[in-house]
Each structure stands twice: as structure tokens, then as C-alpha cells.
């Protein structure tokens, strides 16, 4: 049994760099591969995103057949309406287990987790978004404590999966803490602070 995971994060709408990443993904991808993005793939400094309400970035991920992504802060930076529009229209699932509308209701199109089936395995994927504190209100979102949200989501799905991946956008320092605290998580894919890990840590 073999499972290959290809992961990107913090692409920030760098289309030139993504073109190279897309070529590599297509080269390495096989029938046992899942492709994930840890958030901040969309950056609204890009005019292409402004003109398409973010869908240009989603279409890039779709073109390489991503399986899921976690919502980072940059996916929120054009305001709640754009975020919801992207999540509702994306064929790639938008994940966040701690992100809500300002009125604390669920955001249409956003999933708290997904279970993918690949190589005969049930692969559970969840992730949290960063708290933007003073910006939350103006962006139209409510963000809860990520540790509680992750624990709750793991509890809710305990026993329903074979492999657990935390695809997180709260930064590598927080993820190192979580790695020590959460026994049921098999793999943490980190993002947000652009820290390079040339090798995975065990």
C-alpha cells in the first residue's frame, strides 16, 4: 500500500512560480497521489483575482486536480462575500474548522473536514485558519480557537478514517506544539509563516 502526498502552501498568486510547481506536480503525480494546498494560494494584490472574484486562483488548483485546500488569511482579504463565492464555486473543497460568518453561522461551501479515499485508505483531512483579531469584524468573519476546533473535529470523526492529516494555516510554531499534543494526527502540513522545511520532521 502506497500513498503519495504532494503539498503546496503560500503560493500568493505567484503564477510564474505556480507554473513550475504545476509541471513538477504533473511529473510526480500517480494513481496513489493526493494533492493539497495549505492556504494563501489566493492573493488579492493580483488583478486577475480582483477581476474574477478569486476564481482565477481556484481554476489554477483545479487544472492540476488538487484534492483539498485549507483557507488561509489571504483567502479572506477580499472580504467575506468573495470568500464565500470562491468556496461555493470551487470544485476543490475549501476546509476550515474554526472559521464562521460574523454572525457565527457556517459559511456556505466551507467544510470543516473531508475524507478522501485513495490507495484503499480513508484519509481524513482537517485544518484551521489564523485568527486575524482586529481585522475579523471588518472582513465579516468570526474565528474560534484553533486548538479547540481541531480537537472537536478529531473527536467528531474518530474511528471513521485510516490516516489523519492536519492541513493547517496557523504557523509552524503552533503546529510544532500540536504535533506534541495530538496523538491521533499522523501528518501535519504547515503553512502561513513561509518557513522552509527541506525534510519532514518525525
User: Interface residues with Fe ion (CB under 5 A)?
Assistant: 40, 72-73, 192
Pick between residue 145 and residue 184 the one whose CB is nearest to Fe ion. 145
Pick between residue 123 and residue 128 the one whose CB is nearest to Fe ion. 128
Pick between residue 12 and residue 161 the one whose CB is nearest to Fe ion. 12
DSSP 128-152: -----GGGHHHHTEEE--HHHHHHH
Give whole-number Cα distances, 182 to 60, 119, 177, in Å. Answer: 33, 25, 9
Q: How far is the CB of 169 from Fe ion (least distance, A)?
A: 6
Helix (H, G, I), strand (E, B) or coil at 115: strand
Q: How far is the CB of 145 from Fe ion (least distance, A)?
A: 18
CA distance 40 to 193: 10
Q: How far is the CB of 192 from Fe ion (least distance, A)?
A: 4
Q: How far is the CB of 103 from Fe ion (least distance, A)?
A: 24
Asked if residues 40 and 11 have their Cβ atoms less than 8 Å apart, the reply is yes
DSSP 64-88: TT--EEE--SGGGTT-HHHHHHHHH
CA distance 61 to 94: 12
Chain residue at closest Cβ approach to Fe ion: 192
Pick between residue 73 and residue 112 the one whose CB is nearest to Fe ion. 73
Q: CB 72: neighbour CB atoms within 10 A?
A: 28
Q: How far is the CB of 76 from Fe ion (least distance, A)?
A: 10
Pick between residue 10 and residue 153 the one whose CB is nearest to Fe ion. 10
Pick between residue 21 and residue 116 the one whose CB is nearest to Fe ion. 21
Q: Could you tell me which residues come within 8 angstroms of residue 143 by beta carbon, excluding any fewer than 6 positions away? A: 98, 99, 100, 129, 130, 131, 132, 136
Q: How far is the CB of 18 from Fe ion (least distance, A)?
A: 16
Amino acid at each position: 500500500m502506497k500513498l503519495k502526498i504532494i503539498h503546496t502552501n503560500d503560493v500568493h498568486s505567484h503564477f510564474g512560480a505556480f507554473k513550475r510547481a504545476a509541471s513538477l506536480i504533473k511529473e510526480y503525480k500517480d494513481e496513489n497521489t493526493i494533492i493539497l494546498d495549505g492556504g494563501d494560494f489566493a492573493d488579492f494584490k493580483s488583478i486577475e483575482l480582483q477581476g474574477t472574484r478569486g476564481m482565477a486562483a481556484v481554476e489554477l488548483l483545479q487544472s492540476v486536480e488538487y484534492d483539498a485546500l485549507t483557507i488561509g488569511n489571504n483567502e479572506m482579504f477580499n472580504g467575506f462575500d468573495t470568500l464565500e463565492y470562491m468556496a461555493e464555486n470551487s470544485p476543490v473543497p475549501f476546509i476550515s474548522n474554526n472559521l464562521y460568518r460574523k454572525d457565527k453561522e457556517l459559511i456556505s461551501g466551507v467544510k470543516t473536514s473531508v475524507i478522501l479515499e485513495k490507495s484503499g485508505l480513508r484519509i481524513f483531512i482537517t485544518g484551521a485558519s489564523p485568527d486575524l483579531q482586529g481585522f475579523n469584524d471588518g472582513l465579516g468573519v468570526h474565528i474560534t480557537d484553533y486548538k479547540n476546533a481541531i480537537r472537536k473535529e478529531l473527536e467528531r470523526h474518530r474511528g471513521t478514517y485510516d490516516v489523519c492529516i492536519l492541513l493547517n494555516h496557523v504557523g509552524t510554531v503552533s503546529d510544532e506544539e500540536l504535533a506534541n499534543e495530538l496523538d491521533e494526527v499522523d501528518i501535519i502540513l504547515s503553512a502561513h509563516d513561509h518557513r522552509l522545511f527541506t525534510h519532514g520532521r518525525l
